[in-house]
Amino acid sequence: MRLAALVAAATSLCVLATAAQAQVDEGEFAIPPYEGVYQPQDRDERGLWTMADEDERVLRDTDVVIRDPALNDYVRGVLCRTVGQDRCESVRVYIVRVPIFNASMTPNGTMRVNSGLLLRVRSEAELASILGHEFAHFELRHTLANYRRSRTGSDIGAWAAVLGAAAANYGGYGYGHNAQVAILGGVYSFRRNQESEADALGFSYIADAGFRPIAAAEVWQGVMDETDRTAIDRGRRSPRYDGVAFFASHPTSMERAEALADLATRVPGGDYDGVEEYRRATADWTPRFLADELALNDFGGTDYVIERLGEYGQTADLLYARGELYRGRGHPRDLVNAAQFYRGALDLDPDLHDAWRGMGLALLRSGEFAQGSDALRTYLELAPEANDAAMLRMMIKE
């Protein structure tokens, strides 16, 4: 009897995950009523909040947090427009200087937004789609549900191992292993369904707030395209997006993009993008975010990120960063392209002194010694106290 109960419990994990997805589909546009100030309700939740409070205390005092009031107020403003001022009051936003596309939310209301995310999104609508998704995890108490599901799965898995060992004595080889694999698969399936549920509620937030709905799908299309460019540049196969790995904790980017695009055809939403507003608000930090991106040494992916940002209009910062990227790789054709990117940057911003430096170095490496030396002299006239001034003067003399 005990053996049958354990097998039934393991099977129920997959059944419950399917039921959760059905619930998402039925209420995909419903925004739950605001419950007001929320406090943890039981021992499990209080434990999770205690750990989250300690993590936030450590995070708050680290050097990776960007403390620029203007940038923080802006990102928080986009969040508040997305989910509403009342819900927004329960969230504390931390922008962290990490050049990876990601954001996260903890049970106690701590939202982390990576600088790599701020670099890759191109508008308030795209940013809102990610912030809304993360807030949906918080509002739906996904961390607590996932903790309880994982704990139940681990308990059942432990019993399955014990019973599997016992069954092996009677010829039941592989029972314990197969049961554990089924249990783990159910846990990861549950997590994927949580992501889909958060996508649906996050989409409801941006549509209700008047943002352009299709922007949510465009974010994930960009993620796939960047991954493909990285793979191509490194001589690898692009990953498959048409199937979910057994132990994947998230749906594939294609699955998310297609689901969000489908939602966008069935809800009116709005037409607000906020491209120019987003560019103005992040302009002071964009050069630093681009420098962090260049340091990742991912030519294909970084080239795509800069190219995608340029679709909404070229800027001097984007052209300069692309010049640095191509000069860094240093193929003969790259150096020619780099010099052109630097010239384009200077056309848009004649005060971008570093572009003269980059262009001079690219031309010197291309064998254009006279033009390269002239570019470096211009740079030194504009920045005579530069840290590398002595070295550059020596290069010109040589």
What range does the domain containing 185 cover? Answer: 2-264
The answer to whether residues 219 and 366 belong to one domain is: no
Structure tokens at 377: 């002299």
The answer to whether residues 10 and 132 belong to one domain is: yes
- Is residue 158 in a domain? yes
385: Cβ contacts below 8 Å, ≥ 6 apart: none
CATH number for position 350? 1.25.40.10
Q: Based on the number of CB atoms within 10 Å of its own CB, is 281 exposed (0-12), middle (13-18) or buried (19 or more)?
A: buried
Please give the Cα distance from 141 to 106 (Å, whole number). Answer: 9
- Is residue 24 in a domain? yes
The answer to whether residues 138 and 40 belong to one domain is: yes
What are 201-211's pLDDT values in tens digits?
A: 889 999 999 99
User: What band does 175 get if pLDDT is binned at 50, 70 and 90?
Assistant: very low
Look at residue 149 and tell me whether its pLDDT is greater than 60: no
The answer to whether residues 221 and 342 belong to one domain is: no
The answer to whether residues 259 and 302 belong to one domain is: no
- Is residue 287 in a domain? no
In percent, how much of the chain has pLDDT > 70?
76
Comparing C-alpha atoms, which of 288, 337, 278, 286 is closest to residue 312? 278
| Spatial contact of 299 and 308, defined as CB atoms under 8 Å apart | no
135: Cβ contacts below 8 Å, ≥ 6 apart: 79, 82, 83, 87, 91, 105, 111, 202, 205
Q: How many domains does the chain have?
A: 2
The answer to whether residues 233 and 311 belong to one domain is: no
- Is residue 340 in a domain? yes
pLDDT of residue 191: 62
Q: Which whole-number Å values give the CA distances from 253 to 117, 154, 217, 244, 250, in the listed order?
A: 15, 28, 9, 10, 9
Which of the listed residues 222, 243, 264 is the one where a domain comes to its end? 264
- Is residue 144 in a domain? yes
CB atoms within 10 A of CB 383: 16
The answer to whether residues 228 and 113 belong to one domain is: yes
Comparing C-alpha atoms, which of 362, 368, 369 is closest to residue 345? 362
What are 82-110's pLDDT values in tens digits?
A: 999 999 999 999 999 999 999 998 888 89
- Is residue 275 in a domain? no
Please give the Cα distance from 82 to 206 (Å, whole number). Answer: 6
The answer to whether residues 185 and 304 belong to one domain is: no
Which of the listed residues 240, 264, 288 is the one where a domain comes to its end? 264
Q: Which residue has the higher pLDDT, 377 or 163?
A: 377
pLDDT of residue 126: 97
Comparing C-alpha atoms, which of 332, 389, 390 is closest to residue 362? 332
In this structure, the dihedral spanned by the alpha carbons of residues 310, 313, 318 and 322, taken in order and rounded to 10 degrees, is 50
pLDDT of residue 285: 98
Strand 103-105 versus strand 110-114 pairing type? antiparallel
The answer to whether residues 11 and 144 belong to one domain is: yes
Q: Based on the number of CB atoms within 10 Å of its own CB, is 152 exposed (0-12), middle (13-18) or buried (19 or more)?
A: middle
Comparing C-alpha atoms, which of 283, 129, 95, 285 is closest to residue 221? 129
pLDDT of residue 142: 66
The answer to whether residues 224 and 181 belong to one domain is: yes
The answer to whether residues 301 and 260 belong to one domain is: no
Which of the listed residues 214, 242, 264 is the one where a domain comes to its end? 264
Report pTM: 0.81
- Is residue 302 in a domain? yes
- Residue 40, Cα to own-chain centre: how many angstroms? 28
The answer to whether residues 252 and 342 belong to one domain is: no
- Is residue 285 in a domain? no
The residues facing 93 across adjacent strands are 111
